[in-house]
Amino acid sequence: MPELPEVETIAKQLGSVLAGNRIVGLTVLSVKSFVGVKTDVVSQKIVSVSRRAKVIIITLDNGKYLLFHLKMTGQLIYIDQNHRIAGGHADHDWHAELPNSHTRIIFDLGDERKLYFNDMRKFGWCRVLTKKELDEYLAKYGPEPLDSGFTLEYLKGKALSSKIAVKKFLMDQSIIAGIGNIYADETLFAARIHPLRPVGSLTDKEWNSVIREAKRILAFAVTKGGTTDSDYVNAYGTKGGMQDFLKVYHHAGEPCPDGCGGKIEKIVVGGRGTHFCPACQKENV
């Protein structure tokens, strides 16, 4: 599933071509994929495209919002006479004939311009929301790790004496918005913290290291267009570049990149494959 850097990249790139377009038609091919009233969307101009946590927000000029969650296999694909711009799941659909069997929603923008929402497994969705409904939905997310609310005091307050594994804690979207499997692994390796450490056991120094490294890694990942795992391309239908800089994610069995003499191991934490160096990241400290 795309994380903060990947969704940020998609939102910025799609925003560059969608802003200013008017939605002149809307076709829903999968009722499960669309929640809202069509008349709230048709005839409305797209003002902007933005991101919060792992969701994409399209602002309309009538005060309504289109909220997209790509989940595991969702794609947004923009087509006009000169461009085909797509982001999300990296299967063949983004350059295949459209619409196809995976197409769930079609936004007609006029003059042969269209925005397709494709989703192979139908876990992703689009919702039409008012400002109040959008605020209520987004309120369930914690602060963005690149924003000022991501602080030592905040994290300690959420952790208290909890025994939850720090890896699960970092991936809890109600606590921190936008960090998933890849960047949790990379952050904890950089901070030298074992993914199974109970969050209540972390010291102030360790929390500050988590904050510093998460901000550094995520900001760098945004500049690289995110990580191309098996299921992500950016809005130009090309692969991100961050995977060339990952130190532990998908490197199980390889020597520690920092030369400590250990090897990267893979375990399961909270149902997710988790990569770490047992020599650098001690479970018992």
Q: What are all long-range contacts of 151-159, with beta carbons under 8 Å and residues at least 24 apart?
A: 151/211, 152/204, 152/207, 152/208, 152/211, 155/207, 155/210, 155/211, 156/204, 156/207, 158/199, 159/199, 159/200, 159/202, 159/207
Query: Which one from 3, 6, 144, 186 is the annotated catalytic residue?
Result: 3
**Angle (CA) 223 229 232, round 5°:** 75
Q: Is 205 labeled as catalytic in the residue annotation?
A: no
Environment class of 27 (CB within 10 Å of its CB; exposed 0-12, middle 13-18, buried 19+): middle
Query: Which one from 51, 52, 54, 168 is the annotated catalytic residue?
Result: 54
Query: Which one from 158, 192, 263, 272 is the annotated catalytic residue?
Result: 272
Retrieve residue 260's tokens. 């400590």
Q: Is 133 labeled as catalytic in the residue annotation?
A: no
Note whether 85 and 17 are within 8 A (CB): yes
Q: Is 144 labeled as catalytic in the residue annotation?
A: no
Query: Which one from 2, 5, 145, 195 is the annotated catalytic residue?
Result: 2
3-class DSSP state of 98: coil
Q: Is 54 labeled as catalytic in the residue annotation?
A: yes
- Annotated catalytic residues are 2-3, 54, 272
